Amino acid sequence: MFGTRKLPADQMGNLGKGELHKTIFSRGERQQTVRGERQQTVQRQVLPQASPSQHPAAAVVVVVAPVAVLPQPALLNIPPLNVKSPRTAPTSVICVHADPNVRLVVLYGGRSAEHDVSCVSAGFVAGCAASAGMDVEVVGITREGAWVRPQTEGDKPSGSPLPLPASGGVPVGVEEALSDPRARGTTVVFPALHGPFGEDGAIQGFCETLGIPYVGAGVLASAVCMDKPTFKALLQARGVPVARWSTIAAGSISENTPTELLRELGCPLFVKPANMGSSVGITKAADSAELLEGLRTAAEYDEVLLVEEAVANARELEVSVIGNTGELRSTPPGEVVPSREFYDYDDKYVCDAADLHVPARIPLDLRREVESLALKTASTLRVEGLARVDFLYGATSTSPGRQLFVSELNTMPGFTPISMFPRCWAAAGLSGEELVAELVRLALERQERRSKHKRLYR
């Protein structure tokens, strides 16, 4: 597969051997070489001047990344990969290498209302992993919660981003699926599951209990980001701007509820299940009758509901983030231009009519503000692995001037061929194969870091 490994400075000379290509650069220089139908991009970053004790290894970072042949980023006005780190600069060389010692288990389907989206995401993830040469196994979770393996050869990943059915298949034990003793190499789980029972910390906690590395945010970040009221409360405490909101228990809805909410938050309002994604169960209400209907709709999906003020004439901006604690990296934002009143489930996955601008056509200062706020949001919530941070740029009744509001953070964003997360990274120069390989590397890195913690007292 295409993975990544770190080399100390004394091995930098070996980068010119085998598959890899070494180029010596002047400051800020960029070179691209094409081999057949594949293209390699080699970038060099000069680290800040520091004493040997601060940076004992290398003073340069070389990134070698095979990607599909694309127009030059300068022609598309796409800046190089945006790497931002609050820690000291890295002290090693990161390069692409073949690593046959990872067994990637892609989980998909699940008991959530986002089951169908998960199947498409998993098809794309497994296809990218298989195309990169990984040892891939897919395990489906039915809507009833049964774990199954695909029954026929046609159901196995072949590199094609097609949905993987999770309704049939051969039943498989959970522990066998995740930690098969017959498997060669290290098992890493990629939970391509969206919504409850997959993106909310449940499967992450299970992997933690079994001691299996997994892609994506940990238990705490997954649970916090899944629950919208908790997510917003924590961001407000750190001074991150969010639109005004209120919560209500599904069992306490009455005929007077809409009047009370309209008095508190104004009009129009959005109603959302507290724990759901992909715009499932979301409605927009312009009066009491629509608000009551929206509350009842959201109550079909959750027992806690979020009601928030609408952001007028909002532009929807999304930033993709990868990395572990202290070294999060972001893409420039993309922009969604819905074909409907707002970016709902059908607009995302059924109609295919919304316009996605990658990168977003916004001024440079706004782009920098969005990227900075995305990294602050992910860092505040201790997100690792991957995330997509969504923003609304517009005005509200209490904030008449245009400003940014954090809307939500997805710890397992849509990973379909048309999803914003992989498209933003592709525009930044990271192919689907490379993106999956990097996420696997991050999972292993976190597992290794945590394995060094003491488990016994004294």
- Prediction pTM value: 0.75
What's the mean pLDDT in 184-188? Answer: 84
- Ordered by where they begin, the domains of the chain are 2-98 (no CATH), 102-216 (3.40.50.20), 244-310 (3.30.1490.20)
Cα dihedral angle (170, 173, 176, 178), rounded to 10 degrees? 90
Tokens standing for residue 294: 């929206």
What's the mean pLDDT in 170-187? Answer: 81
Q: Does residue 23 have a pLDDT over 80?
A: no
Instruction: Measure the CA–CA gap between 450 and 259, rounded to whole angstroms.
Output: 50
| Nearest CA among 177, 347, 182 for reference residue 278 | 347
CB–CB of 364/346 below 8 Å? no
Tell me, what's the pLDDT at 41? 35
Ranking 9-13, 142-146, 367-371 by mean pLDDT, the lowest is 9-13
Q: Does residue 146 have a pLDDT over 80?
A: yes
pLDDT tens for each residue of 212-258? 999 999 999 999 999 999 999 999 999 999 999 999 999 999 999 99
Per-residue pLDDT band for 393 (boundaries 50, 70, 90) equals very high
Instruction: Measure the CA–CA gap between 140 and 177, rounded to whole angstroms.
Output: 10
What's the mean pLDDT in 277-298? Answer: 87
Tell me, what's the pLDDT at 339? 62
Per-residue pLDDT band for 298 (boundaries 50, 70, 90) equals very high
- Residue with the bigger pLDDT between 49 and 445: it is 445
Tell me, what's the pLDDT at 275? 84
- Residue with the bigger pLDDT between 13 and 183: it is 183
- Residue with the bigger pLDDT between 180 and 207: it is 207
- Residue with the bigger pLDDT between 435 and 351: it is 435
pLDDT tens for each residue of 303-357? 999 999 999 889 999 999 999 998 999 999 999 987 656 555 555 555 566 788 9
Tell me, what's the pLDDT at 342? 53
> SS3 string of the chain?
CEEEEEECHHHHHHHHCCCCCCCCCCCCCEEEEEECCEEEEEEEEECCCCCCCCCCCCCEEEEEEEEECCCCHHHHCCCCCCCCCCCCCCCCEEEEEECCCEEEEEEEECCCCCHHHHHHHHHHHHHHHHHCCCEEEEEEECCCCCEEECCCHHHCCCCCCCCCCCCCCEECCHHHHHCCCCCCCEEEEEECCCCCCCCCCHHHHHHHHHCCCECCCCHHHHHHHHCHHHHHHHHHHCCCCCCCEEEEEHHHCCCCHHHHHHHHHCCCEEEEECCCCCCCCCEEECCHHHHHHHHHHHHCCCCEEEEEECCEEEEEEEEEEEECCCCCEECCCEEEECCCCCCCHHHHHCCCCCEEECCCCCCHHHHHHHHHHHHHHHHHCCCCEEEEEEEEEEECCCCCCCEEEEEEEECCCCCCCCCHHHHHHHHCCCCHHHHHHHHHHHHHHHHHHHHCCCCCCC
Q: Does residue 131 have a pLDDT over 60?
A: yes
